[in-house]
Chain A
Amino acid sequence: MAVPGAFRLPDLKVTHLKRLEDESIHIMREVAAEFRNPVMLYSIGKDSSVMLHLAQKAFYPSPPPFPLLHVDTTWKFQEMIRFRDEAARRAGMELIVHTNQEGLRQGVTPFTHGSSQYTGVMKTDALKQALTLHKFDAAFGGARRDEEKSRAKERIFSFRTENHGWDPKNQRPELWNLYNARIKPGESIRVFPLSNWTELDIWQYILKENIPIVPLYFAAERPVVHRDGQLIMVDDERLPLASGERPELKRVRFRTLGCYPLTAAMESSAASLPEIVEEMLVARSSERSGRLIDHDESGSMEKKKREGYF
């Protein structure tokens, strides 16, 4: 009966990564069992890669019993789009790509409408459109509590009204690992299976499990311009250049990935996973500082979340 090589001695000590993995798998199975029509938001970043990997583990040997949804603003890095299609194919999961067509028609871009309005239309509105269109009653997101202050108070099962709104003062108490999945038609739950992971945990898990991530995380020569003290990559010809602004090749990488005009690069020579992790351990600026949209004003993430942003 014994499986060769499968025996393991009783671990008297469970490592924190194993505890986190078990918890995330438990959460995902609860969602698959309790909701009619769940979806996994797939943003192509490292957290999404870990989330997808965990989903594959949770339902093995079945493929995850829900589709992936990517909200495409049309301004993602080209490498991200290639990676996205490949990841969905590898996982054997359906991939739904949604773009706010009305926003496109109105010509909403990061340059014409400012980062805050652009994010509202092409990300938040687009996400709400897709959730409403497909009648998803639960949506997984890869957000972590250590990312930002208002995220630290987020539930694992986070209730959203029919309009996808979040009321931070009126959240359901969440005890033990008993998640309340009951909703009325039209309402939904955002589910955050990585809530208790930190950035270091994510990297360490990627390293340990050998999880594929977008090459943009690794340092390479890339064309960038200096803007407001940050390095912006010229991913295609749509990036308007100010007079005198000239793309130059620099050895850079990204700590987080989003729309390329809104995602700052950092100068780095870290070209392998261990080098990235090592660099992060001595990092001097927190993760989201590479994301320009949080910098509009203090408390801006909380505002965006109330409006339905992930």
Chain B
Amino acid sequence: MSAIAAQNDDFSEYLTRHEEKDLLRFLTCGSVDDGKSTLIGRLLYDAKLLFEDQLASLKRDSRKHGTVGEDIDLALLVDGLEAEREQGITIDVAYRFFATDKRKFIVADTPGHEQYTRNMATGASTADLAVILIDARKGVLSQTRRHSFIASLLGIRNIVLAVNKIDLVDYSQSVFDAIVADYASFASGLSFESIVAIPLSARFGDNVMERSARLGWFSGPTLVEHLESVPVGTAASAAPFRMPVQWVNRPNLNFRGFAGTICSGSVHLGDEIVVAGSGRTSRVKAIVTADGELEQAFTGAAVTLTLEDEVDISRGDVLAAAAQRPEISDQFAAHLIWMSDEQLNPGRSYWIKIGTRTVSASFTEIKHKVDVNNFSKLAAKTLELNEVGLVNLSTQEPIAFEPYGVNKTMGGFIVIDRLSNLTVGAGMIEFGLRRATNIHWQALDVTKELRASAKGQKPVVLWFTGLSGAGKSTIANLVEKRLASLGKHTYLLDGDNVRHGLNRDLGFTEADRVENIRRVAEAAKLMVDAGLVVLASFISPFRAERDMAREALEPGEFIEIFVDTSLEVAEKRDPKGLYGRARAGMIKNFTGIDSPYETPVSPELVLAGGTKDPHDLAEEVVAHLQARGYLD
């Protein structure tokens, strides 16, 4: 910087000061029309961040869409998408940037409308502070409570209660005091560390950046003063070292580095670290960055570590301080925000991504959902879009974690639908339900291989799927007889023998059908473990459940057989008279009539159930097994 300094001291000093600024990320939220967008427009306007051409385009747009007469409508600055400008609502999180002399800010402007609550949670997930707007004329509304609850749930500890439009209540102190008291009474149940209430007018700028003479009775800070001074997280933290491994860096045989972002604590050369999953330990040999090696690195730093020993580490592992290891479990209680139009399906298998790990998981129980108006707990069988609940979940593999309240990275996860790939939920682990400090399964002396070889066979599940009346059970019976004649040990699971015993508590709603198949898949898995050839004959109409069954087993242990009989043919056969009753409205949720059947995408075998004789089809199955060595 010396050349610059010689050129212009003031300017150099300005740049240095700007470079030294820290960053505060906050979100603005509140109900529709509370003036969030206007407030952010006001911050940009007062921070002199608008350029002449933006002002010109703003004036043009104000005439076209504005709602404040001849004045500039500051909200139009931030309502970015065309549809929003037309409807006058903010439908998605918009990120805005401004800086003052003291600090740089990233603002998440989040939607107020109830149907976009998921977007508010998105904005809250990366914020250090929330500005909750209240229209002074309306006071605390249900959206205020909902947003406060979500802010609290997502771990925001600092709240600014911005009582906006104070100009419209004659700058009244009593109105302000009443709102603050009302808010404080319900927010006491939430986990905020500080709530700072400020009366202001975004439209006229009172108490935003400039202190307002019209609010002389108010002795607290202006909004900007408070945002500039509220403490932000520092990098040096007393928390134990944690770093999820993102990527293994192997430029050559002599270098094996583990790249990741430190999510808590710090790491020093020579520190003893542990791979949380395997329990293997080593010491930090180098902290590598492109700017040179470091002696120590802190929370938030993106670094690459090399270790003294050759330890098996891959993406998804967590490196941690050996003296303070994170817990490991595969069963959790977590708060969940549901974000999809399609309801949560307990028992169905989803992906969850936590840290750098993506694992298969299912929600085993909904303990309750939360009424965000009074925070009371309600019984629930599912969660709908924008609902929040406390759930139990079970992951297919154990994972290293910490409660979300302790460490957001180690406890926060997103839920991904396996078929649509959409992000359908966001979760926050409260605690592990089962401590799995030793995650290695007890090695049993008698193994699956041993049991199978004692029977002289290769265990496998033949999964027959298709419409009711397609011929699944008939074919499965014939196949079982043929296998028995070949000396194979088999078992046939079908709807009748399962529904009368193991699953007699289940009905035919979508949720119950999912649970039905889940239990069948688990039972089939145990039988495969016992060395049997299992024939499972179930309508199993949903792809996700068939995939779940497939995944419960090892590769090659699951053969999906689609008995492809058209609805027309199956309905004509109607062996149990079920179609007739379903058509008459006497049976609800009947596959093919008022409940869908999702055709398999790539089954191992398709049987022409509508046209061929069942004996020939059974031979096709046996031939398939022979060709692939299952009957050797």
Contact = CB atoms under 8 A, between A and B. Distances in A.
Given A14-B234, A33-B315, A152 B96 contact: yes
B280 to A, nearest CB: 21
A146 B47 CA distance: 15
B353 to A, nearest CB: 5
B247 interface: yes
Contact of B51 (A10, A12, A171, A284): A284
Contacts of B414: 173, 175-176, 178, 180
A201 B126 CA distance: 20
Give the bracket for the number of chain B residues in contact with chain A.
35 or more
A121 B57 CA distance: 28
B413 A178 contact: yes
B246 A33 contact: yes
B118 to A, nearest CB: 5
B421 to A, nearest CB: 4
B305 to A, nearest CB: 13
A286 B51 CA distance: 5
A298 interface: yes
A182 B416 contact: yes
Interface stretch (A51-59, A72-80, A235-243): A51-59
A149 interface: yes
Contact of A58 (B20, B21, B266, B302): B302
B247 A33 contact: yes
A307 interface: no
Contacts of B351: 182
Interface in B40-95: 51-54, 57, 60-61, 78-83, 85, 91-95
B97 A146 contact: yes
Interface centre among B12, B20, B259, B422 (most CB of A within 10 A): B259
Contacts of B95: 145, 152-153, 195-196
Given A16-B104, A152-B78, A173-B426, A180 B416 contact: yes
Nearest to B96: A152
Interface string B251-267: 10001010111000010
Query: Interface majority SS on B: helix, strand, loop or mixed?
Result: mixed
Interface stretch (A1-9, A82-90, A97-105, A127-135): A1-9
Interface in B335-366: 339, 351, 353-354, 356
A177 to B, nearest CB: 8
Contacts of B122: 173-175
A146 B11 CA distance: 24
Interface stretch (A23-31, A40-48, A108-116, A214-222): A23-31
Query: Interface majority SS on A: helix, strand, loop or mixed?
Result: loop
Given A26-B246, A152-B96, A174-B423, A169 B54 contact: no
B92 A171 contact: yes
Contacts of B230: none
Give the bracket for the number of chain A residues in contact with chain B.
35 or more
A278 interface: yes
Nearest to B80: A149
A26 to B, nearest CB: 5
Contacts of A182: 351, 416, 421
Contact of A11 (B18, B236, B255, B356): B236
B421 A184 contact: yes
Nearest to A197: B97
Given A60-B289, A173-B339, A180-B421, A29 B300 contact: no
B87 to A, nearest CB: 11
A102 to B, nearest CB: 30
A30 B95 CA distance: 22
Interface stretch (B214-222, B290-298, B317-325): B290-298
A163 interface: no
Contacts of B85: 299
Given A175-B426, A176-B126, A285-B51, A6 B293 contact: yes
Interface centre among A177, A184, A200, A299 (most CB of B within 10 A): A177
A107 interface: no
Given A11-B236, A150-B80, A302-B80, 11 more contacts: A3-B292, A26-B302, A145-B94, A145-B96, A153-B81, A153-B92, A172-B422, A175-B122, A178-B353, A178-B414, A286-B54
20 contacts: A3-B286, A13-B20, A14-B22, A14-B235, A16-B21, A19-B23, A26-B246, A29-B247, A33-B247, A58-B259, A59-B249, A61-B257, A62-B251, A149-B78, A151-B80, A152-B95, A172-B422, A177-B261, A178-B413, A299-B82
